[in-house]
Structure 1
């Protein structure tokens, strides 16, 4: 190997090491998540909805179903109007 090839090989190895180190720390920095009920848009829920008898994500038929949830970064849910950390009782409809 000549001097130029060695220099390129060393530079490439260092760049690969730096890239691997930064990508691992980005994965480690994933925020804690929490389930947030009552704010889900139709078709955007993250899991089953007991009151509708569904068993899969994306099955909400309307907005703001009381027991439909999505994952949000921890601490965000209760900052959103209508957001709850636990499913709420379904409100009785006005007659």
Structure 2
């Protein structure tokens, strides 16, 4: 009985993970990297200039090397850039 529950839980976890992976490409298609708009600690990934290597590690607001994903077409309206600054 315990083994059956573990198997079912494992199968459900796999289905949830597979659903998340399938949605990722579609979500990425309507997003773009926007540099220079992230606030300290709120960036989405590594700094383009190599000052840090992970999300949430921006140390200052609107660093031109830090980026966030935004809806396609909205970056420049928000005061950002589609390319990393220096």
Same fold by TM (over 0.5)? yes
The RMSD of aligned alpha carbons is 2.1
Q: TM-score, normalised by structure 1?
A: 0.57
Large movers: runs of 4+ above 6 Å: none
CA distance in 1, matches of 2:30, 2:39: 22
Q: Which residue of 1 aligns with 2:64?
A: 66
Computing the radius of gyration from Cα coordinates, the structure with the larger value is: 1
Q: Which residue of 2 aligns with 1:53?
A: 51
Instruction: State which of 63, 81, 85 in structure 1 corresponds to 2:82.
Output: 85
Structure 2 stretches lacking a partner, 5+ long: 1-22
- How many residues of Structure 1 are paired with residues of Structure 2 in the alignment? 62
CA distance in 2, matches of 1:63, 1:39: 7
CA distance in 2, matches of 1:85, 1:60: 18
Q: Tell me by how many angstroms 1:49 deviates.
A: 1.3
